[in-house]
Structure formats: C-alpha cells, structure tokens
Amino acid sequence: MKLISTLSILFIVSIIYSCSSPNAKTMSNTSKDQPPNIVYILADDLGYGDLGCYGQEQIETPNIDLLAKNGMLFTNHYAGSSVCAPSRSTFLTGLHTGHTSIRGNKFAKEIGEGQVPLSTECLTVGELLKEKGYTTGAFGKWGLGYPGSEGDPNQLGFDVFYGYNCQRQAHRYYPQHLWHNDQKVALEGNDFTNKVTYSGDVIHQKVLEFIDENKDKPFFLYYPNLIPHAELLLPEGELMQKYSKKFGKEVGYVNHKKGSEYGDEDFMITRYSSQPEPRATYAAMVELLDRQVGEVIQKLEENGLMENTIVIFTSDNGPHTEAGADPQFFNSNGGLRGLKRDLYEGGIRVPMIVRWDGVVPKESKSDHVSAFWDMLPTFGEIAETNFNQQVDGISILPTLKGIKQPTHDYLYWEFHEQGGRQAVRQGNWKLLKQNTFNKEKTTIELFNLDEDPSEVNDLSDDYPGKVQHLLEIMDREHTPSKEFPKFDTVS
C-alpha cells in the first residue's frame, strides 16, 4: 500500500496558467488561486477497442478522439473489476478488490431497490475533495448502496446525485423514476408500456446544469454514464438511421423470457427488451455517448473552464454480450482475450484519456501501468489534500506532467462470480486463477503480456517459481469480507 504524497498547489496553478490556451470562448470565471476542476466520465461496458483513437473502424467517435488528440491516451490502464459495482468501489476508495468493501454485484434483497452499501470506514474520492472545498456531484448509475443507507452517494461525499441508485433498475433506459438525492423523481410518460422519457437524456442535462451552476467555484463531476450497457435501446433518430443504413438487415435479438418487453403484463425491470437491430443500436449508442462527451467539453469551454479543468474518460470494464451485443463484430476488446466478467485483458483493460490543458502534452501516449485505485491519490495530489489513510493506488500526476513516475510492484483483482477468479499483474507477467471456490476444478495460467498480449500461450509449466511467487501475492492481498466471504473459506 502507498501513502498519498502532496504537491504545492501554487506550482500546479503556475503551470496551468503559463501554458493555458488563448482560444477560450469566454474569460475564465475561475480564480488563478483555485484548484482545478475534475471531471471523471465513466462509460459502462465500453470495450478497449470501441473508440476510434483505440482502433475502432465501425463506429464514429470524433469527440472522444479529439479529447485524445488534445491530451494523453493510456494503453495500460485497468478497471477495478470486470463488473460494475466493485469497479466503481475501487475508484471511489483507492483500494483494489482484495481490500475495498464492495467486491461484487450484490443486491440488497430486503430493500427491493439498490445494492449492499459501501462501507463508510473508507474515505472516498467525493469526501476527499469535498473536504478541500470542492462542490461534488455524481450523475448516472450508482450501485453502491440503496437510498438512505451508509452507501447512499449523499453519505459518501457527494453534494448532489441524480440518476439510478440501483444498477438493476439501470437495465432499462425508460424507467418510471430516477433519484435526485433522497427524492424519487418520476419520468414523464414512462409506465413500462409507453417509452417517452429517455433516462440518458435527462441525466445528461443535469450534468450540463451542474457545470453551469458551479462555474465560479471548484467542482468534482463524476459522470458514470450508462452507455453502452444493455439493454440496447435509444430513441429513434438520425443516429439509428445512420447505422441501420450502414449495417443493413440484421439478425435481431429476441428475449424469450417473460416480462422482457415493454407492455408485458409481468414486466420485469431487470431484463432486457428485444432488439431487431442490435449492431446498429450498439453503434448508435456509442456515438451518442461520444456526443455527450463532446457536449460536456463544449459546456466547459463556453464557461471558460478548460484552462483549469482536468477531464478523464474511461470505462468500468470490458465489453458485454447481453441483449444482442456483438463485441466480436466490432472488435470491442481491441484484439485482447476476454470480455466482461473475465479477468483476461479484454475484461479489465480499458481505455483512458486525460485532457488537462497546459499540463498534459497534446497527442501524447502513455504505457504506464495504472488502475482505478490510482485515481483517489491522483486527485488528492492535484487538490493538495493531506490525509493519513492507506490506499493501494499511486498518483499518476507525474505521468500527466511528463516526469519520473513511481510504479506499482503489482496489480491485484478478485472476482466473486462464476466460481471465483483472481489475477495478478507484476511487470509483464500475469497470473490467472480460475474456479477458486472449487479446488478440484481450479486452474492456473501464466502469461507474458509483453510477448503475448492476447494471452494465448500459458507458461505456467515453464516458470513454476514465478507461479508460486504470484500465488503468494494473491493470498496476501485478499482480506476477509463479511459481505463477500467465499474467498475466506478457500484461502
């Protein structure tokens, strides 16, 4: 574990303003003595290869590609997990899945809406920045504690939350309600038969309003966007027409489970509707996400904020196959092995782009090995915070500034579904352990990612010493968990 270091805020500000762009549309509303705004945009199930700047050829993402052109593109950045809730938990707490309190997607059954709550024992990114005077907002999908629980976003450092508290509710893009802090907000016209108000549009407007409302003070905007998580659905319009024409007649996805379709008498919020054009819809959703990113940048520029704002774009895990999604067709994992729920590279290596005018060199690229749990110490150093809590992350601010960067000795993941999985990356070596909960079925694989990034050649028989060393790291990095106890019984 690493302790967060501090950095002089005056040094940061002097760099920002000495190198800032003269092309802002308006005069900045921020003071030169003010710490930079932080915008963290998190896509949902977007693959490493789903963006043009990462090699995507079928889907157009001009705004995100421009973000990369104006900043730094990371090629070795990792999600906190291969599914939603634990990945977000590692981001918020700076702790990997062997230490953070939420290690899987676990529904709070007795409540009926929401997931088991993130523990308040750990400091969150929201709390860290709020203590430093930031106004904090989260917009989109939460999934880390039902309304009113200790894991409610308002209890974990966020002044305002708007969106889905429950990630099961977020399977549908036309829900009956969203949450604004502790208030349930009905969406006009949505009754699980009629689809009138698209949740993504409403949430996005709240994001833009948050920027307008807080343009004169430092803010932290956490935007866990739903797209392109299933279900595959968006309003009819020119984006759908564009990709329908491009891909032509498709083999549609049909969900035969009862309660899947809007209008079904026994409609179930947790399922996905059928989709006659799954490829066109997926592509249109990704381009809609790209437009939303572009509108966030435009709003920052309109308010003269880009010279003092850091914008980060990434995804919570690898691409999914639900509701007719076809990651093979789009090469969504960028040629890497595995998808969502895998601890192979395709399940956890994700795109990350950082733009920070005057600090991050334009059109730059980094192969620094980083992970979600690095964000808390990074933001802490940027905002010149001080605290004595230990985390697993290392600030990547040196990489952003182009100076010598401390590196991780290793990265660790554990996954509590599908029989249990663990993975460790140390340097170019990566060890995977599958079926951890059943010793008779447990398998071990070792890969050299430098020579074999697609994880094809298992070298575990050739390097038994390396295997043993990495297994010892796995055993050491897992700590007991009351809510997720299965690993404790096999360790």
Instruction: Look up the CATH number of the domain holding residue 468.
Output: 3.30.1120.10
Q: Cα dist. 82→19, 340, 345, 372, 393 in Å? A: 38, 5, 10, 12, 18
Count of structural domains within the chain: 2
Whether residue 3 is contained in a domain is answered as no
Which of residues 408, 435, 456 is at a domain's end?
Answer: 408
CB atoms within 10 A of CB 484: 18
How many residues are present in the chain? 491
Whether residue 302 is contained in a domain is answered as yes
Whether residue 4 is contained in a domain is answered as no
94 exposed, middle or buried (CB, 10 Å; 0-12, 13-18, 19+)? Answer: buried
C-alpha 148/C-alpha 477 separation (Å) is 31
Boundaries of domain holding 417? 410-491
**Judgement on whether residues 135 and 238 belong to the same structural domain of the protein:** yes
**Judgement on whether residues 417 and 377 belong to the same structural domain of the protein:** no
Which of residues 388, 408, 428 is at a domain's end?
Answer: 408
Q: Is 279 helix (H, G, I), strand (E, B) or coil?
A: helix
**Judgement on whether residues 389 and 444 belong to the same structural domain of the protein:** no
**Judgement on whether residues 308 and 180 belong to the same structural domain of the protein:** yes
**Judgement on whether residues 128 and 256 belong to the same structural domain of the protein:** yes
Residue 313, sorted as left (phi over 0), alpha (psi -120 to 50) or beta, turns out to be beta
Give the phi and the psi of residue 217 in degrees, each rounded to 5.
Answer: -150, 160
C-alpha 345/C-alpha 131 separation (Å) is 36
Q: What secondary structure letter does DSSP report for 434?
A: E
**Judgement on whether residues 240 and 334 belong to the same structural domain of the protein:** yes
Residue 136 has a pLDDT of 98
Whether residue 82 is contained in a domain is answered as yes
Q: Which long-range contacts (CB under 8 A, 24 or more apart) does 248-256 make?
A: 250/276, 250/277, 250/278, 250/279, 250/280, 252/276, 252/277, 252/278, 252/324, 253/278, 253/323, 253/324, 255/323
**Judgement on whether residues 375 and 425 belong to the same structural domain of the protein:** no
Whether residue 335 is contained in a domain is answered as yes
Whether residue 220 is contained in a domain is answered as yes
Which of residues 358, 387, 408 is at a domain's end?
Answer: 408
Residue 395 has a pLDDT of 97
Residue 389 has a pLDDT of 81
Helices (H), 191-231: 199-213
Residue 11 has a pLDDT of 32
Q: State which residues of the chain have pLDDT below 70.
A: 1-32, 490-491
Cα(first)–Cα(last) distance of the chain, in Å?
21
**Judgement on whether residues 363 and 454 belong to the same structural domain of the protein:** no
**Judgement on whether residues 389 and 414 belong to the same structural domain of the protein:** no
Residue 232 has a pLDDT of 98
**Judgement on whether residues 399 and 414 belong to the same structural domain of the protein:** no
Give the phi and the psi of residue 165 in degrees, each rounded to 5.
Answer: -70, -40
**Judgement on whether residues 64 and 187 belong to the same structural domain of the protein:** yes
Kindly state the tokens that stand for 377: 């110490």
218 contacts 37 by C-beta, under 8 angstroms: yes
Whether residue 2 is contained in a domain is answered as no
Residue 62 has a pLDDT of 98
**Judgement on whether residues 124 and 253 belong to the same structural domain of the protein:** yes
Whether residue 479 is contained in a domain is answered as yes
Q: What is the CATH number of the domain that holds 277?
A: 3.40.720.10
